[in-house]
Chain A
């Protein structure tokens, strides 16, 4: 575990050593704030909650998270440091997990920095803070899911642009799978798949958290989803590391 954390710590410090971290955080805060107050009708709704904010977060992450993950392995290959990292005495899954944890912690920091929104609703009204907390937990799990996808895809290619586009595309599939457009289309033609799509949809699962419901099966879903993609990541690293 110590080695995994050492990798995570180095990685996280690496984010803040470059402008990437600051650009990401500023864009995330500006966009989430702007969308919440304009399109989300934060004030106009006359309700003290963060629903408009939580509506946008998964879609913002859809583009922002791949921007973090695209360099995760591609950068190591470009610098040649992947050879250094993978010849240190750690198992491959430890390197994979360490990088993932760093990226996840980074997303947690970005989410935590939206606290002024939370303060605002608490000043303006009397929100159910339990629901808000569940919503934040859901956001973090969605970020984790997208990160796991993006990290695995970045291990497949040296090219950061390809890594980004692939990650957005695959994350979009899992985000849109539960949307009415997709499920209605499927239920008219292949009803079995409609249910599968809903089950696999990240946004559908997130909906529960957003309503303040933390269901065990949703947590199990996210855990297995992330686990599966981390496993794919380790396999991809193992096969493509020296190419």
Chain B
């Protein structure tokens, strides 16, 4: 059986600039992949292509066996996607917003209510269910986005910086949540918090300047007696220096 998320030679160019360059990896059920890389490395762009928001320039990706370009709606049905910054409609209340997502996803009546209630429970939002989202604090807004992602209990999850802006307790909660869901799902999370990788991820994929530089388990990465921080810096700074070196050599 193929993996739930398969990325095959995915490439995205903006004009002459290549934001994502020939990225391939697969995520199986039970795996949590930490998608790492410095700012501007192409993490969000890759995730947007997985979610069918950005059209790939070359290559393709499949979620639950559906091609993101040919069957976008089928992909979106089986994918929970948290966009970067967790956008939500500010004027809506928390339960109004989640109710809207439930209806668009085709749930009606008591099933919709159950789904909304469950998503709010998972993200501890019950206390603010009737509050307009714009009046919530940043961390709560992010949790609303997270609730939206989990509403339909999708087999595949792609989350762009899910713990950004959360307090330490909430970070812990979200990590626990991810760990609890992990056995039945294929999960990709991007993050800048390297300790998170050791805490929840079964694998780390590091990209720099659009290219995959490492695809390994957190243990393998740390093996040579270095911290993840050091490894990350080495891998990503190294590739960032390349063009400068090449330029001096050419001159």
Contacts and interface: CB of A to CB of B under 8 A. Distances in A.
Interface string A67-101: 00000000000011101101111110000000000
B95 to A, nearest CB: 13
A88 B91 contact: no
A89 B77 CA distance: 5
Nearest to B148: A84
Nearest to B93: A17
A71 to B, nearest CB: 12
Interface in A173-203: none
Interface in A1-42: 2-3, 6-7, 9-10, 13-14, 17-18
A88 B88 contact: no
Nearest to A5: B103
Contact of A80 (B79, B81, B85, B104): B85
B106 A84 contact: no
Nearest to A83: B83
Interface residues of B, number: 29
A119 interface: no
A14 B89 contact: yes
B54 interface: yes
Interface residues of A, number: 23
A90 B75 CA distance: 11
Given A2-B103, A81-B89, A84-B148, A242 B73 contact: no
A10 B91 contact: no
B77 A80 contact: no
A74 B76 CA distance: 23
A75 B218 CA distance: 41
A84 B104 contact: no
A90 B91 contact: no
A6 B80 CA distance: 19
A1 to B, nearest CB: 11
Interface string B37-78: 000000000001001111100000000000000000110110
Given A89-B73, A90-B73, A242-B54, A83 B87 contact: yes
B83 A87 contact: yes
B53 A3 contact: no
Contact of B83 (A17, A80, A91): A80
Interface in A210-243: 241-242
A123 B100 CA distance: 44
A242 B100 CA distance: 23
Nearest to B49: A242
B76 A88 contact: yes
B83 A88 contact: no
- Which among A7, A80, A83, A242 has the greatest number of chain B C-beta atoms within 10 A? A83
B91 A86 contact: no
Interface string B84-106: 01011111100010001101111
Nearest to B152: A89
Contacts of A91: 73
A86 B53 CA distance: 7
A87 B51 contact: yes
B87 A90 contact: no
Nearest to B52: A87
Contacts of A14: 89, 91-92
B76 A89 contact: yes
Contacts of A17: 91-92
B53 A2 contact: no
A81 B88 contact: yes
A10 B88 contact: no
B48 to A, nearest CB: 7
B87 A84 contact: yes
B89 A10 contact: yes
A3 B91 contact: no
Contacts of A89: 73-74, 76-77, 104-106
Contacts of A241: 53
28 contacts: A2-B103, A2-B106, A2-B108, A3-B103, A3-B105, A7-B104, A9-B100, A14-B91, A14-B92, A17-B91, A80-B83, A80-B85, A80-B87, A81-B87, A81-B88, A83-B48, A83-B83, A83-B87, A84-B83, A87-B79, A87-B81, A88-B104, A89-B74, A89-B105, A90-B73, A242-B48, A242-B53, A242-B54
Interface of B: 48, 51-55, 73-74, 76-77, 79, 81, 83, 85, 87-92, 96, 100-101, 103-106, 108, 148
Ranked nearest first, the 7 interchain pairs of A and B with the lowest CB-CB distance are A80-B87, A6-B103, A89-B76, A17-B91, A89-B77, A83-B83, A87-B51
